[in-house]
C-alpha cells in the first residue's frame, strides 16, 4: 500500500500570509503511461463535505481561487495558499489515486 504523509499536522497563519503544506508518498505516483501524477488535494471545512482543489497534482479545479497552487512530482508534493483568507480555515488532505487502496494523507489543519 502507498502510505501518504503530510506535514505539518497543523499550522496557524496570519491573514494575508503564505501557508505551505507538504505531502509525501511512500512510492512514486507518477504514471509513465501519461506522465501525470495521480495525486489530488481536498479541502474540508467543518460540517461540510470535502472539496477537490487540485487533480493531477497541479491542475486547479474550476472555481478554486488562484491563491491556491499545487506543485510537485513523483513522491513530494506541496499545496500553497499564497495569501491566507479567513474562509481558507479548513483541514487539507492529499490523496493518491495511483493504486488501490487509494490512500489519503492524515490531513493538515490550517487556522488563523
Partner 1 sequence: EVQLLESGGGLVQPGGSLRLSCAASGFTFSSYAMKWVRRAPGKGLEWVSSITGGGDKTYYADSVKGRFTVSRDNSKNTLFLQLNSLRAEDTAEYYCAKGHSASPYSAMGVWGQGTAVTVSS
Binding interface with partner 1 (CB under 8 A): 1, 38, 40, 42, 44, 49-52, 55-56, 61, 91, 93, 95, 97-107
* Closest CB 104 distance from partner 1, rounded Å: 5
* Closest CB 61 distance from partner 1, rounded Å: 7
Reference 79, options 63, 103, 59; nearest CA is 59
* Closest CB 55 distance from partner 1, rounded Å: 4
How many other C-beta atoms lie within 10 A of the C-beta of residue 77? 27
Nearer Cβ to partner 1, position 16 or 46?
46
Q: What is the C-alpha to C-alpha distance for residues 49 and 82, in angstroms, rounded to an integer?
A: 24
Q: Sign (positive/negative) of CA torsion 70, 73, 74, 80? A: negative
Amino acid at each position: 500500500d502507498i502510505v501518504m504523509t503530510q506535514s505539518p499536522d497543523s499550522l496557524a497563519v496570519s491573514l494575508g500570509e503564505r501557508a505551505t503544506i507538504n505531502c509525501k508518498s511512500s512510492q512514486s505516483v507518477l504514471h509513465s503511461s501519461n506522465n501525470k501524477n495521480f495525486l489530488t488535494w481536498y479541502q474540508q471545512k467543518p460540517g461540510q463535505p470535502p472539496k477537490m482543489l487540485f487533480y493531477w497534482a497541479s491542475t486547479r479545479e474550476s472555481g478554486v481561487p488562484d491563491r491556491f497552487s499545487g506543485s510537485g512530482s513523483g513522491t513530494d508534493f506541496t499545496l500553497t495558499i499564497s495569501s491566507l483568507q479567513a474562509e481558507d480555515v479548513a483541514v487539507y488532505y492529499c490523496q493518491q489515486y495511483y493504486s488501490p487502496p487509494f490512500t489519503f494523507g492524515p490531513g493538515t489543519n490550517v487556522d488563523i
